[in-house]
Amino acid sequence: MAPSRATALTEATLARWPLPHPGNDADKESRGRVLVVAGSGETPGAALLAGTAALRTGAGKLTIAAPRCIAQGLALAIPESRVIALPETRGGGFDARGCEALAPLAESTSAVVLGPGMRDEKRSAAFVRRLLALFRDSAIVIDAVAMAVVRDGAFDQPVLLTPHAGEMAHLSGLAKDAVVEDPLLVAREAARRWNACIVQKGATTFIVQPDGRAWRFDGGSPGLATSGSGDMLAGLIGGFAARGLPLVRAAGWGVLMHARAGDALAGRFGPLGYLARELAAEVPALIESIGQR
């Protein structure tokens, strides 16, 4: 039976979960490749935020796959990335035919961040299913409307989901009030049923494995509840996974670095009003402060 409580997530936890050190002579290939599949005509910034966050973890290479209507703009906005333009559905989502362009990347991709800013949940579902089948050997971080793939049943590959209370209610069929009342219980049941690691986001964030083991983080700040913050978190987790951490440990690093970056910005700007895009630049120094590179 799963324990009734969750273990506290702290800097000491991360010290026990050290980042793999590539060595001083290592090149970018040794720090992992991240594929971010994200964005839409209405929310192009989601792909930029997630991709920037992944690079700030120290991941070595970044590819962004985005709808054709925003691909050129993303290529100019984040020149460190390769950008692949994909066909869209009528509703502005990802057309399943676009997976053909991504198939050659499957063998070399360490982690995939799938879903930030995605639209057209129903028609994008076929794309998500096909992408998961192609990237079976990659760590997968699924965010936003891409999480609807859970309706197909349990996963049989390493997957992490990042729902907030409203999204968990939508995915599980529960009332939002029920999720808010006992998020750990709901996350444990979801992790077991879907065979996925769950990052249940909120004022208190829970990280839960399918076997019921769980970690609790109470150190979030109000300023993190802002547009784009979830995209940044998904990118951070994907970047840490690309560097070689198992998904649950990548989630621990992502959640704590995300929160500490918010603390740093709150100290300079005040508790509210800093921007999600400002979080990523704080992360390298925070990693260094824990003695990691």
Q: Per residue in 139-161, pLDDT tens?
A: 999 999 999 999 999 999 999 99
The pLDDT, as a whole number, for residue 31 is 82
pLDDT bucket at 28, cuts 50 / 70 / 90:
low
Side chain identity, residue 116: P
- Residue 266 in any domain: the answer is yes
pLDDT bucket at 23, cuts 50 / 70 / 90:
low
Total number of domains in the chain: 1
182/179 Cα distance (integer angstroms): 6
- Residue 78 in any domain: the answer is yes
Domain of residue 248, CATH code = 3.40.1190.20
- Residue 7 in any domain: the answer is no
Nearest to 216 by CA among 238, 187, 244: 187
- Residue 162 in any domain: the answer is yes
Domain that holds residue 276: 29-289
pLDDT bucket at 27, cuts 50 / 70 / 90:
low
- Residue 13 in any domain: the answer is no
Distances in Å between the Cα of 226 and the Cα atoms of 43, 53, 230, 278 are 14, 16, 8, 12
- Residue 24 in any domain: the answer is no
- Residue 17 in any domain: the answer is no
With a cut of 90, say whether residue 25 has pLDDT above it. no
Q: Per residue in 169-187, pLDDT tens?
A: 999 999 999 999 999 999 9
- Residue 60 in any domain: the answer is yes
